[in-house]
A and B are shown apart, each in its own frame.
Chain A
């Protein structure tokens, strides 16, 4: 099977879906002639032309809303935010239009679109460019939120998201665009939304990790394995709708849960998962659910401070030891 980068896996997904369905189009800042700010959309303008791959002005609220309107009457837009930090400008249209249109119209207008782009930290891009916003979007009924952690997941999930009839917020990670992995070139290989993936099986503790934290959780599991602590690593892949059943089944088996995330702890996705585990598997827990989250501060610029703000393998290992009372 071919080994390709996350960036190329996403590129393949976009290419295949643009080829497959004329109603799909891509719009965003620098997606076309510039080949994409992060090169995820490289080559697409050349292949599909400027009717379907469109450079927008810097006008996030406007083009997000334009996408929703186009989706209302039959198109399937993919709207790229150069980073999800800029999606904040578009939140009125994502939340008040896209998320609610189907409901408030009594089922008449579905919004089959994808809002995609990188979220979370990058390298020293400071406070306004490093935000992990998944819990914001996951909050609103009507939106789906997806976060891939491997090239294969990225391709399969993006294809499913584009074919999904609901508005999907698809959050990639800039630090992971260069990550390599095996990816099938079968154009019909889809990964369903709403299904978690057990990335590593284990028996002593469950680590729920997403996006950037997944490779770190796997490294932590390896380290702990050497000490005889067997960890099960679960990647939800879809944050909303959340596959809580897979997580709960695992906790019933291991009796301990650690959640690893780069986002802030307060009102984060980890807080939600923790609450749900506690509600559904309380009698199975041998320790409180522990969260390993990003520092509760705006992201600083200095390299050493930034490294302190993002959880690393050591923090995840320490958290597992804590819940294992070891």
Chain B
């Protein structure tokens, strides 16, 4: 049985992937061979989407993507300096998914995600100060320093974490959707997870209940093609995540996750389905992470060539090119934006540095809801 568990076969898979570049045939802009017709079709779709969005929204989307990119780069720096401890899972390369999807929501909609959550937290409306302070383990962090990188929460913006067990957030999100339906509101719930989480039983149990009971939950698979060091090919018998929805008779879509407008539009369709029909959707966004699984990942399972190939489709690069071409933003405006964002991120770091650690008494608070302790 060749499930490739030896280092040698893992290396062989990595080399083959690297040689082939972007391997997904469904992503039409495959740099190995997009046909002229495919290119034209993509261009027309892009144009259609742009026509449906105002300039302000386009600029906001770009700014958010840039902000979370620079925030994550700064986090990597802080981690290397020992300011951030434990695990630090960076979102670099996946920005189009988080930003694009969240842009389709109302403020009162709910979001749950995995531990790779800094971008989702910021996109949902949490301040970079509160997020950075949480990473630094300070009392002013969004979780009062008791959660860390993997457990960011903010009830005031309906951001429900931040979950460390792969797939653990999927039944939770299903329950949030159950509750909003029970309470008679038309709020929807977005649940983000990676493709590796799709192999967890919790995923299957949740999608079954969501379709059975018609719950307004949108399941977003951020397929970055690796579960830590294990590629999709080595983990999944049927490597088509969107197709798995048919096992539950659930609506699904596969989308190029490097295209922020395509992500936004697909999410809008799913949000509409959830809000008006109270039905779930499974969205598969094919993306890629440019950094390792976490800051401790030596990255021996993929080649430099493969990473560089994907970086040619860096979502920031693609969107910037589109905006410049459509004359939405020029180089100077982008430079000004970069300078603002640099200051915003540096202010977050200063805020985190200057904030106090949690009071030692906090060790024993929040065990029970009404202040009592277990003993």
* Residues in chain A within 8 A of chain B (CB atoms): 25, 51, 56-57, 59, 61-75, 77, 92-93, 96-97, 101-110, 112, 141-142, 144, 165-166, 194, 240-242, 244
Contact = CB atoms under 8 A, between A and B. Distances in A.
B146 A103 contact: yes
Given A65-B174, A105-B162, 7 more contacts: A62-B202, A66-B206, A66-B209, A70-B178, A104-B162, A105-B161, A244-B375
A74 B170 CA distance: 18
Contact of A112 (B205, B208, B369): B369
B143 interface: yes
Given A102-B368, A103-B366, A241-B374, A61 B205 contact: yes
B153 A165 contact: no
Interface in B216-257: none
B151 to A, nearest CB: 4
B18 interface: no
A70 to B, nearest CB: 4
B172 A72 contact: yes
Contacts of A244: 375
Contacts of B161: 101, 104-105, 109
A72 B145 CA distance: 20
Interface in B335-375: 365-370, 372-375
B110 interface: yes
Interface in B39-95: none
B155 A61 contact: no
Nearest to B180: A73
A165 B143 contact: no
Listed residue (A57, A62, A69, A70) with the most chain B CB atoms within 10 angstroms of its CB: A69
Contacts of B112: 69
B366 A107 contact: yes
Contact of A105 (B153, B170, B365, B373): B153
A106 B171 contact: no
B375 A64 contact: no
Contact of B369 (A75, A77, A96, A102): A102
A51 B212 CA distance: 14
Nearest to A140: B374
B173 to A, nearest CB: 6
14 contacts: A51-B182, A56-B209, A61-B171, A65-B168, A67-B175, A74-B179, A101-B161, A104-B146, A105-B153, A105-B162, A105-B366, A108-B155, A142-B367, A142-B368
A70 B369 contact: no
A106 B174 contact: no
A61 to B, nearest CB: 6
A105 B151 contact: yes
Given A62-B205, A65-B172, A92-B165, A72 B183 contact: no
Contacts, number: 154
Nearest to B161: A105
Contact of B172 (A25, A57, A68, A75): A68
Nearest to A244: B375
Contacts of A103: 146, 366-367
Contact of B171 (A77, A93, A105, A194): A93
A241 B174 contact: no
Interface in B163-213: 163-165, 168, 170-180, 182-183, 201-202, 205-206, 208-209, 212
Interface of B: 110, 112, 141-147, 151, 153-155, 160-165, 168, 170-180, 182-183, 201-202, 205-206, 208-209, 212, 365-370, 372-375
Contact of A65 (B206, B212, B372): B206
A166 B174 contact: no
A101 B202 CA distance: 18
A50 to B, nearest CB: 10
Given A57-B212, A69-B178, A75-B179, A106 B369 contact: no
B366 A62 contact: no
Given A103-B146, A108-B153, A65 B170 contact: yes
Given A73-B180, A93-B171, A102-B368, A109 B201 contact: no
A62 B174 contact: yes
B143 to A, nearest CB: 4
Contact of B110 (A25, A68, A73): A73
Contact of B375 (A110, A142, A241): A241
B152 to A, nearest CB: 9
A69 B171 CA distance: 7
A62 B179 contact: no
Nearest to B375: A241
B199 to A, nearest CB: 14
